[in-house]
């Protein structure tokens, strides 16, 4: 059993169009694509987090460097 992504009515699995509102339902291919996209977004978020951490560390190191007396 699945639910229509548009009207929310319950319908059988494997149908391509909702029998209540006629909207196209996500097939296996679309679900696989969505899952892939979600993984990519997750991966991109992890990368962004790692980058932000790196930048923070660099800033921290730079601050330490700036705090050192230069003579």
Closer Cβ to Zn ion, 15 or 52, answer by number: 15
Give the Cα separation of 22 and 6 in Å (integer): 9
Closer Cβ to Zn ion, 5 or 32, answer by number: 5
Closer Cβ to Zn ion, 26 or 63, answer by number: 26
Q: Binding residues for Zn ion, per CB under 5 A?
A: 4, 6-7, 18, 20-21, 23
In the complex, least distance from residue 45 CB atom to Zn ion, rounded to whole angstroms: 31
Residue 31 corresponds to which tokens in the numbers above?
Answer: 């679900």
Q: How many CB atoms lie within 10 A of CB 4?
A: 19
According to DSSP, the residues that pair with 2 across neighbouring strands are 11
């Amino acid at each position: 059993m699945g639910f229509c992504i548009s009207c929310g009515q319950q319908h059988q699995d494997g149908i391509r169009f909702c029998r209540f509102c006629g909207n196209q339902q996500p097939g296996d291919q679309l679900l696989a694509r969505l899952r892939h996209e979600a993984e990519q977004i997750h991966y991109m978020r992890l990368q962004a987090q790692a980058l932000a951490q790196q930048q923070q560390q660099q800033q921290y190191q730079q601050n330490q460097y700036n705090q050192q007396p230069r003579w």
